[in-house]
Amino acid sequence: MPTVQLSRGSVRYEVVRRRRRTIGISVTPEGAVEVHAPLRASGREIQEAVDRHRRWIEKRRTASLDRTRRLRARRFDDGDAIPYLGADLTLRLREIEGTPVVPPELIDDELWLDLRAGLSVASRRAVARHAVGRWLLERAGDVFHETHVDAARRVGRTACSVTIKDMTSRWGSCGPERKMSLSWRLIMAPLEVVDYVIVHELTHIIVNDHSPAFWRRVERACPDWRAQRDWLKEFGGDLEL
């Protein structure tokens, strides 16, 4: 397998040949480098493209590996950081006798969770992770509804339904049928990013493509959409539990 020379050594990359005109390079969330090349591209052409983008590859790999380390460090122990609307909440765990019947409670910037006393470390982490996930999902329902109402006023269109899903390949979807789907992970992003995604999807009710006319309508409702789109590209991979 060919390699690319980085400042910290060499990294192997995989070549995937497809029916395309240009050579494209991507870095997976796990830090693997993939080169998508035309069927007739020579090995030399591929290597030259990789060499030209060496600094970009190194930057993306570093970001991906740092992101993986941060996610692995989130163990759902007392004091861990929980992302919520672009900020970090501090997870606070309390052990109580019996089985807790109340969901996590947000107090200032701390998320308090009662757990049954005597759980093993692994069980405590699993229970905390599940409880935090359910809390974020419930908050997503409230926040997305409020943001949709405000965004619909600016776009001039409203969705007839908004469904929150576990989406992995996109942040949202909508079209002329006015049925919107949103990734629950957006609840961990800044509210401005949530607004941009909803404006984006509402605009697809009017223009079902990404033509210049589409982006002009997005900009009228969300003037700083480029900054929010860039935030998702840069930090969207962090929106995980």
Of 146, 86, 136, the C-alpha closest to 113 is: 136
Phi-psi region of 45 (alpha: psi -120 to 50; beta: other; left: phi over 0): alpha
Q: Closest by alpha carbon to 172, among 215, 219, 217, 204?
A: 204
The full 3-state SS of 74-94, as one line of letters, equals CCCCCCCEEEECCEEEEEEEE
What's the CATH code of the domain at 162?
Answer: 3.30.2010.10
Same domain for 132 and 143, yes or no, is: no
Say whether both 44 and 122 belong to one domain. Answer: no
- The CA-based dihedral angle spanning residues 204, 208, 214, 220, taken in that order and rounded to the nearest 10 degrees: -20
Is 49 in the same domain as 8? Answer: yes
185 with 130, same domain?
no
For residue 69, the model assigns a pLDDT of: 66
* Structural domains of the chain, count: 3
Per-residue model confidence (pLDDT) at position 72: 62
Residue 210: per-residue pLDDT: 93
* Residues contacting 204, CB < 8 A, separation 6+: 173, 174, 175, 176, 214
Whether 13 contacts 34, CB under 8 Å? yes
User: Same domain for 61 and 97?
Assistant: no
In this prediction, residue 236 carries a pLDDT of: 86
Clarify whether residues 66 and 109 are in a common domain: no
Q: Are residues 230 and 200 in the same domain?
A: yes
DSSP string, 100-135: --S--EEETTEEEEEEETT--HHHHHHHHHHHHHHH
pLDDT attached to residue 151: 97
Residues 155 and 216 in one domain: yes
Asked if residue 154 and residue 112 are part of one domain, the reply reads no
Tell me the β-bridge partners of 93. Answer: 113
Q: CA 115 → CA 73, 104, 138, 223, distances in Å?
A: 21, 10, 19, 44
> Which of 20, 41, 73 is where one domain is finished?
73
For 11, which DSSP code? Answer: E
Structural domain boundaries, residue 36? 3-73
pLDDT at 71: 65
Identify whether residues 158 and 88 lie together within a single domain.
no
Question: Terminus-to-terminus CA distance in the chain, angstroms?
Answer: 33
Q: Quote the Cα angle for 29-58-33, to 5°.
A: 45
Query: What's this model's pTM, rounded to 2 decimal places?
Result: 0.73
**Gyration radius of the chain over CA positions:** 22
**Does one domain contain both 186 and 95?**
no
Q: What is the DSSP string of 135-169?
A: HHHHHHHHHHHHHHHHHHHHHT---SEEEEE--SS
What tens-digit pLDDT sequence spans the chain (241 residues)?
Answer: 676 555 556 778 888 898 888 999 988 877 888 999 999 999 899 999 989 998 889 888 887 777 776 666 678 999 998 999 999 999 999 998 887 767 899 999 999 999 999 899 999 999 999 999 999 999 999 999 999 999 999 999 999 999 999 887 789 999 889 999 999 999 999 999 999 999 999 999 999 999 999 999 999 999 999 999 998 988 887 888 8
Residues 158 and 104 in one domain: no
Question: In 159-195, which positions are buried (b, 16+ CB within 10 angstroms) versus exposed (e)?
Answer: beebebeebeeebbbbeeebebbbbbbbbbbbebbbb
